[in-house]
Amino acid sequence: MKKLSPVFEDALVYATRLHARQKRKRSDVPYIAHLLAVTALVLEDGGDEDEAIAALLHDAVEDQGGRQRLMEIRQRYGERVATIVDACTDSYTTPKPPWRQRKEQFILAMKNADASIQRVALADKVHNARSTLRDLRLEGEKAWDRFNGGKGGTLWYYHSLIEAFSWHNQSELFEEFKRLVDEIERNSGGAMIE
């Protein structure tokens, strides 16, 4: 069994404080729930402590401070963690660039990303897909209203990610993502991909 050091504990407290006022999109769920779920997926997939810390912090730059936050993460947790977090960040500016443009750039980056980056990014997408499926089951088609890409754009994005991750990743995490995307399609009346 791998042990997590006090550095992980520090990152857990740091992430909790950074996202303390943030909720999951259009819900009352504290954002830390997402970060904990992604971290658990990374560890269950065999990730090491740096990958687990990056999972805790994967949205910190995008949602809580931009490049200045990335510099702070680099100083606190090292270059490898910062590199993974940087790769998981699709925008450093407010307002963010158009949704489709950000997603296309992210997909391209994932095709050439190393295994650590792919593991953290894939864990994030698995948890997001689980949430999407849950929302579809509870709300039906209305759930798509909360997505910037809508139904068609989101399904396009998920399918493009499957292709991007398949270059390097044949793990159970990858297989779960594919199953989730299939189930999302079945629960939303079939594919409608842009």
- Model-level pTM? 0.92
Domain 6-187: which topology?
Answer: Hypothetical protein af1432 (1.10.3210)
What pLDDT sits at residue 66?
85
DSSP string, the chain: -----HHHHHHHHHHHHHTTT-BSTTSSSBTHHHHHHHHHHHHHTT--HHHHHHHHHTTHHHHTTHHHHHHHHHHHH-HHHHHHHHHH----SSSPPPHHHHHHHHHHHHHT--HHHHHHHHHHHHHHHHHHHHHHHHHGGGGGGG-TTHHHHHHHHHHHHHHHHHTT--SHHHHHHHHHHHHHHHHTTS----
Q: What's the length of the chain?
A: 194
**What CA–CA distances, in Å, run from 56 to 14, 20, 30?**
9, 13, 14
Share of the chain above pLDDT 90, in %: 73
Average pLDDT over residues 102-108: 94
The percentage of the chain sitting over the pLDDT mark of 70, rounded to a whole number, equals: 95
Report the pLDDT value the prediction gives residue 193, as an integer from 0 to 100.
Answer: 46
Grade residue 92 by pLDDT with cuts at 50, 70 and 90.
confident
Per-residue pLDDT band for 28 (boundaries 50, 70, 90) equals confident
User: How far is it, in rounded angstroms, from Cα 122 to Cα 127?
Assistant: 9
Domain boundaries, the chain: 6-187
Looking at residue 1, its pLDDT comes to 52
Whether the pLDDT of residue 194 is over 60: the answer is no
pLDDT of 188 above 90: no
* pLDDT > 50? residue 3: yes
159-169 pLDDT, tens digit each: 999 999 987 66
| pLDDT digit string, tens, across residues 128-142 | 999 999 999 999 999
The chain-wide mean pLDDT, for the chain, equals 91
